[in-house]
Chain A
Amino acid sequence: MKKRIWIALAVALALFAGSPRASAQVTPAQGYSPPDDTPSVKIGGSLFLDYTFQDEPETRDANGNLVHGNAFNVGRAYLNLTGQLHHLLGFRVTPDITRETGSGSSLSGSYTFRLKYAYAQVNLDDWLPKATWVRFGLQPTPYTDFEEGVYRYRFQGNVFVEREGFLPTSDAGATAHVAFPADFGDLHLGVYNGEGYQKSDPNDQKAFQVRATLRPVPRVPIAKGLRLTGFWDADHYVRDAKRERTIGAVTFEHPYLNAGFAYIDAKDRPTVADREVHAKGWSVFATPRTPIGLEVLFRHDHLEPDADANDSEKTRTIAGVAWWFALHPGVTAAVLADHEQVRYDDFSPARATEKRWALHLLLSY
């Protein structure tokens, strides 16, 4: 494990170390305009709002009545503080909300703020393809951030691998991102605590994550939106107790359709005394789009949470109609009405099927 950390750090250092050398090699062309190094800080944010009506299962209220739970909710309230301190050095600080549910807190029930992202980024654009950088701090993990960018419906709910608890979206670590020349894809690898942004690191184990994405035909108009992705997360709960995820994905982006398929294979062994649990699953989504902002969302997830030990299966189906408002670049607003069904087969104890109707709203700027 230590060896992997050193490899990751060595890659990061190599990229760093290349910077001054590369810098020394710069021979300004005639009429060269130096990059703008004036510090700038911007404020942005994202809001996810919803009204959700639970059709099934009904629940019992304090008087014992069977009721359909329904509520207005805030799913996300990012405050994004991003800055460019030099053309080589950027940063981001993003608090997000979460509902405090602990009975020992006087804030129980409130949406409290906690840190989601806080990182420094050294840009290597001067010497490597644009969007090549090194990051240090609490930052997006390589896979979920990538898939969410294609999926675009995070405001309906997490992508499959996050929703089922396999990967967090943010974690503390050191990572490097290399964009391949001529838009042929990218590589993102890093070493993280492995616990996610909402937990502290309990021991000496670190997660090594790497995502490689290839865009086979970046010059072919229709096919340039096609990308093939492989992701590997090697971690341990404690020494010799594996936590490993392997993901293979195919995604496609086009003005009239975004679509994706992801397959995950996960191994979990919380302590050395536990048996290793092997989970398998896949998710497929398609979002047909129109030029007037009207879109549709279809998604189906299939999970075998303990594939080697039993036949339990969890399936999730989402269908919705959305309207994306035509606003200025950098501003995004959308409304989505959707239905979600979650079914549990052969679970022990048995679990009730869930059916929900919801109206979701996204604002991002």
Chain B
Amino acid sequence: MHSRVLAFFAAGLFATAAAIAQITPAEGYTPPNDDPSVKVGGTIFLDYTFQQEPEARDAGGNLIHPNAFNVGRAYINITGQLHHLVAFRITPDVTRETGSGSSLAGSYTYRLKYAYAQFNMDDWLPHGTWLRFGMQQTPYIDFHEGIYRYRFQGQIFVEREGFLVSSDLGLSGRLAFPSNYGDFHLGVYNGEGYNRSEANDQKAFQARLTLRPAPAVPVLRGLRLTGFWDGDHYVRDAKKERFIGALTFEHPFVNAGVDYIDAKDQTLLTAAKIEAKGWSAWVTPRTPIGIEGLFRYDELKPDDRNDSKKKRTIAGLAYWFTVFKPGVTTALLGDYEYLKYDDFTPARPTEKRYALHMLVNF
């Protein structure tokens, strides 16, 4: 395993060195702008959520419908270009401290979500080709969220069910295919995610291959086929593996996607091997005036040894503000979420929630 990590490093460094050696400035060549620049941006997810079912009991023993105003995300994005070949990003995000042993219990505290250096290979390879080192996006979730666009309602299926994390520490490379035929992103990560420290010597190898079959055909160019593989181990010989196949489509009037996951988990050599399977389908019809619909259905069989099934349905109506300049995104979403558990032991109640979500991104 260690040799694979080193091989990955060596390949990355060799690719950088080899690319630099190939520079042959053309006649009339205009050197790129290497003036350093730093930008500050942010993303805020806000919501008011009313839980219709199940009811909960308050401190007085009354049956109530829990409801609350929440901040789901408060990114502070510091991004910079130190040279046309070297960039970086630092992004803290909030999370609610819920540990009873902390004096900050209840507070939204900042923790690191992204902190990476990026070496751009645009001078020698198709635009959007790079190497990254540090705490960075994992290959699949970031890709899928870019098409889904409703992360502010909640995570996409594979993250919400705990199969993948959106950020992790590692080294990765992305290769953009020529003529917009897709891209390939692979990396080696700790595998624990950004919110846990590495527990042992195991590393996660993740690879995503996305093909855009018809980039020159106006209606079809939004179609992409994706395969993703995550090969990891909880401890030596105890597998943590995910395979995902996805079909996505982008168009000014509709975005849509379907993905299927097959996951194998064995947390210890003495623990049972569990295979989970599931799929998610969503569609977001769009209008030129900013009104959109959101429909999503997830279905998960969390354990192949029984018939338990978890189903999530989301329906909502959104308005994306069109008055802002490029680079600024704001949207409001009113939605209903229904979550049903079949054949779970112990039984779990159905959940029903109404929510008003808001997104501000700049």
Give min CB distance, B277 to chain A, whole Å. Answer: 26
Beta-carbon contact of A63 and B238 below 8 Å: yes
Beta-carbon contact of B88 and A67 below 8 Å: no
Q: Which residues of A contact B287 (CB under 8 A)?
A: none
Beta-carbon contact of B9 and A327 below 8 Å: no
Beta-carbon contact of A74 and B200 below 8 Å: no
Q: Which residues of A contact B328 (CB under 8 A)?
A: none
Q: Does A109 have its Cβ within 8 Å of any Cβ on chain B?
A: yes
Beta-carbon contact of B88 and A69 below 8 Å: no
Give min CB distance, B280 to chain A, whole Å. Answer: 27
Beta-carbon contact of A105 and B201 below 8 Å: no
Beta-carbon contact of A47 and B101 below 8 Å: no
Task: Give Cα A61 to B199, complex, Å.
Answer: 8
Within 8 A of B (CB), among A54-93: 59, 61-63, 65, 67-74, 77, 79
Q: Does B170 have its Cβ within 8 Å of any Cβ on chain A?
A: yes
Task: Give Cα A108 to B196, complex, Å.
Answer: 7
Beta-carbon contact of B189 and A105 below 8 Å: no
Range for the number of chain A residues in contact with chain B: 35 or more
Q: Does A31 have its Cβ within 8 Å of any Cβ on chain B?
A: no
Range for the number of chain B residues in contact with chain A: 35 or more
Q: Does A223 have its Cβ within 8 Å of any Cβ on chain B?
A: no
Beta-carbon contact of A71 and B190 below 8 Å: yes
Q: How many A-B residue pairs have CB under 8 A?
A: 175
Q: Which of B110, B198, B268 contacts A62 (CB 8 A)?
A: B268
Known A-B contacts A63-B269, A333-B86; the reply to A110 vs B112 at CB < 8 A is yes
Q: Does A250 have its Cβ within 8 Å of any Cβ on chain B?
A: no
Q: Does A361 have its Cβ within 8 Å of any Cβ on chain B?
A: yes
Q: Which residues of A contact B171 (CB under 8 A)?
A: 51, 72
Q: Which residues of B contact A68 (CB under 8 A)?
A: 2, 201
Task: Give Cα A47 to B134, complex, Å.
Answer: 9
CB-nearest residue of chain B to A80:
B78
Beta-carbon contact of A328 and B235 below 8 Å: no
Beta-carbon contact of B97 and A51 below 8 Å: no
7 contacts between A and B (CB under 8 A): A49-B133, A61-B201, A63-B236, A72-B198, A106-B97, A109-B196, A113-B111
- Which residues of B approach A to under 8 Å, CB–CB? 2, 5, 9, 34-36, 38, 40, 76, 78, 80, 82-83, 86, 88, 90, 92, 95-102, 104, 109-112, 115-117, 133-135, 169-171, 189-190, 192, 194-203, 234-238, 268-270
- Which residues of A approach B to under 8 Å, CB–CB? 43-45, 47, 49, 51, 53, 59, 61-63, 65, 67-74, 77, 79, 95, 97, 99-113, 325, 327-328, 330-331, 333, 359, 361, 363, 365
